[in-house]
Amino acid sequence: MAYTDRQATTLALAHALSAAERGLSVIPLSRTKLPALRSPHRDDPDPAGPRCHGECGRFGHGVYDASTDPVRIREMFAAAPWATGYGIACGLPPYQLIGVDLDTKSGTNSSTALRELALRHLFTIPETVVVRTPSGGRHLWLTGPPDVVVPNSAGRLAPGIDIRGAGGYLVGPGSRTDHGVYTTAPGTAHLTPAPCPPSLLRLLVPPPRPPHPHPNPPDAGDHGRGLVQFVLSAHEGQRNTRLFWAACRAYENGIGPALADPLTEAALGTGLSEREARATIASAARMTGHRP
């Protein structure tokens, strides 16, 4: 059946709302699989200035716009009537989704490469949601611990295996692109994303950076205030990820201890509990090679 763009947009919105009901944060995508809404800052006079991740309140910040709020999702699709798909943000609560993208276009057998990794590192891929891509590839949906940030990578694990983590997104099933439709593999649509095996998770998280001592550690100053504001402006679903990112930057710049309490207060202001906030900041300290 041939679909008009309007029908494709209506279907994409329906699939996106269904995903949001499951707790998955979504954004509209174009037929090219890119975010459908252009950046509102594309004409800013200083493109090298501080990057906005949605603090301005407008749409067009890619994965930082992702939401589970049906009103906000409808507003995004209304602003992008050419959207024919939707993206699912990775690394956000409640799943902390990790996408294992098994590509077929690289000329390598990525499924075989994943099996070899599993044998070498003694893990088994659990039964989980699997999405088929138009090119014949597969996306495996896994979940991670709330205090671990998995970065995006391309081919780092093995040729043809890309990882979608914090700051990345997966094309949702039901999305229509220039090359076809993304579909859920038979028998997996009803599943909940399975936890990532610990041995695989260790491969996905890069080793902590060695500490860089500052002979004269800078005070928090403007940079510290900017990090605190970054946490304060987090939308629901971004709070833990933003706090972790800000805390990592603070420790890398030698102001982590001085900023731990202000960042905690900012996190409390967004709705996180003090226990969650302290645990996330401590995780950031460990990840950057510091003692919490």
Here the tokens at position 55 are 């603090």
Query: Is the separation of the CB atoms in 98 and 163 below 8 Å?
Result: yes
Task: Please report whether residue 212 resides in a domain.
Answer: no
Kindly state the DSSP code that residue 54 receives in the 8-state scheme: S
Nearest in space to 90 (alpha carbons), one of 110, 71, 62: 62
Q: Which of 85, 106, 121 is the last residue of a domain?
A: 85
Q: Which of 64, 85, 106 is the last residue of a domain?
A: 85
Which structural domain, as residue segments, surrounds residue 121? Answer: 90-204
Pair 255, 166 in one domain: no
**pLDDT of 212 strictly over 50:** no
How many domains does one find in the chain? 3
The predicted-structure confidence for 67-120, as pLDDT tens digits, reads as follows 999 999 999 999 999 999 999 999 999 999 999 999 877 566 888 999 999 999
Out of 6-15, 119-128, 172-181, 278-287, least confident range: 278-287
Task: Please report whether residue 213 resides in a domain.
Answer: no
Residue-level pLDDT at 42? 77
Task: Please report whether residue 214 resides in a domain.
Answer: no
Task: Please report whether residue 238 resides in a domain.
Answer: yes
Q: Which of 37, 68, 85 is the last residue of a domain?
A: 85
Task: Please report whether residue 209 resides in a domain.
Answer: no
Mean pLDDT for 59-70 is 93
- The single-letter code of the amino acid at 7 is Q
Angle between helices 239-252 and 221-232 (to 10 degrees): 170
**pLDDT of 289 strictly over 90:** no
Task: Please report whether residue 215 resides in a domain.
Answer: no
**pLDDT of 143 strictly over 90:** yes
**Main-chain dihedrals φ then ψ at residue 215, nearest 5 degrees:** -60, -35
Pair 163, 142 in one domain: yes
Kindly state the DSSP code that residue 120 receives in the 8-state scheme: H
Here the tokens at position 10 are 């209506």
Task: Please report whether residue 216 resides in a domain.
Answer: no
Task: Please report whether residue 292 resides in a domain.
Answer: no
Residue-level pLDDT at 213? 45
Query: Is the separation of the CB atoms in 66 and 92 below 8 Å?
Result: yes
Separation of alpha carbons 217 and 55, rounded Å: 28
Mean pLDDT for 62-71 is 94
Residue-level pLDDT at 215? 39
Pair 227, 195 in one domain: no
For the residues of 205-238, what is the DSSP string, one character each?
A: SPPPPPP---SSPPPSHHHHHHHHHHHHTPPTTT
Per-chain mean pLDDT for the chain: 86
